[in-house]
Amino acid sequence: MEPDNKIYIVVAVLAVILAGIFVYLFVMDRKITRMEKELKEHEEKKPGEIYHDRGEVV
């Protein structure tokens, strides 16, 4: 392998790693946003309501 070709391999590996990190962060952001929304909805419910996700009465 020529030294010129090795740089392309390094760049490709770094691009794949960075793409994976960005996808992971995007998925985590969506999950956290969903959890924050559920927590906000949970806090707005009145005591004694039935929570349909677990069937509990609080």
The pairing of beta strand 56-57 with beta strand 50-51: antiparallel
Cα–Cα distance, 23 to 6 (Å, whole number): 26
Give the pLDDT band of residue 46 (cuts 50, 70, 90): low
pLDDT of residue 5: 87
Alpha helix (H) ranges present in the chain? 3-44
Cα–Cα distance, 3 to 25 (Å, whole number): 34
Whole-angstrom CA distances from 28 to 2, 31, 40, 53 are 40, 5, 18, 22
Q: Tell me the average pLDDT of the chain.
A: 84
Q: pTM for the whole thing?
A: 0.63
Cα–Cα distance, 36 to 42 (Å, whole number): 10
